[in-house]
Amino acid sequence: MKKLFFVLSFIFVAQTINAQLFTKEKIQNQANIDKMKYSWGYYLGFNSYDFNFDYNQDREDIQVEKNLGFNVGLIGNLRINDFLDLRLEPGLIISRRNLTYDESYFQGMDYNNSDLIREVNSTYIHFPLLLKFSSKRFNNIKPFVVGGFSAALNLSSNEENPEDNTVGQFRTKRGMLFYELGVGIDLYLFWFKFTPSIRGVFAINDEIIRDNDNANSPWTGNIHTMKTRGLFINFTFQ
């Protein structure tokens, strides 16, 4: 299902770009939209979050099952010059990941099948501050690259929950820092500017909360760091 969605999104964007590049019509839509000092908009999109693990000892990797999540947010844009913009994009990011542990993590312990799986739900209030570097506008299209840093508040973290994995509670930190890199294309339509983009999001700080008896914990004892990484596909309307 995820592959089908990405293929359909790519086809839609490719067809729109093709129409903008190869049409004989040279009239510029929204000719003055990029000349405004301040501009606003909103975005809708999808995400696929993963975890990158570093381990204390060489053992079987923890498998991460990724699920398609949802993004929604607002955009505030400050024009610096014709090729550079500063953007604030606060939003709500909802995602879910399932962790599957190998049975070797539980050697010498009594366990059942439910102990091998942990569900990690994340609801991030996301605050990116980004620089957008654009090329010169060609007809009704303008490619760009974007990069910057973001902070996020995970409302589903369970950081202060005293119960740990021994009773099924996988805990993560509430506050996160990320750096972000992406590319996109501004498409100037008749009524508004439409922007499809793809962006990678990479955590700077470790996200896991260790179990109370971490040294003997099969769930957190062998994890040196656990850092979120994700892929966003956003559709922006300005």
For 70-84, the pLDDT digits (tens) are: 999 999 999 999 899
Q: Show the domains of the chain with their CATH numbers.
A: 38-237 (2.40.160.20)
Tokens (6 digits) for 168: 């099924």
Tokens 């609801």, residue located: 123
Q: Is the pLDDT of residue 3 over 50?
A: no
What is the pLDDT confidence band of residue 97, given thresholds at 50, 70 and 90?
Answer: very high
Residues linked to residue 198 through DSSP beta bridges, in sequence order: 183, 233
Which is higher by pLDDT, 16 or 122?
Answer: 122
Looking at residue 215, what is its pLDDT?
A: 87
| CA dist., res. 119 & res. 161, Å (int) | 16
What is the pLDDT confidence band of residue 110, given thresholds at 50, 70 and 90?
Answer: confident
**Entry field: residues in the chain:** 238
pTM for the structure as a whole:
0.80
Whether 90 and 115 have beta carbons less than 8 Å apart is answered as no
Q: Is the pLDDT of residue 2 over 90?
A: no
- For residue 205, count other CB atoms closer than 10 A to its CB: 12
pLDDT tens readout for residues 15-63: 554 554 445 556 778 777 888 899 999 999 999 999 999 999 888 999 9
Q: Is the pLDDT of residue 103 over 60?
A: yes
pLDDT tens readout for residues 175-201: 999 999 999 999 998 888 999 999 999
DSSP H or E segment with residue 79: strand 68-81
Rounded mean pLDDT, 216-221 = 91
Residue 62: what residue type? I
| CA dist., res. 143 & res. 13, Å (int) | 13
Rounded mean pLDDT, 103-131 = 91
Of 233, 225, 223, residue with least CA distance to 105 = 223
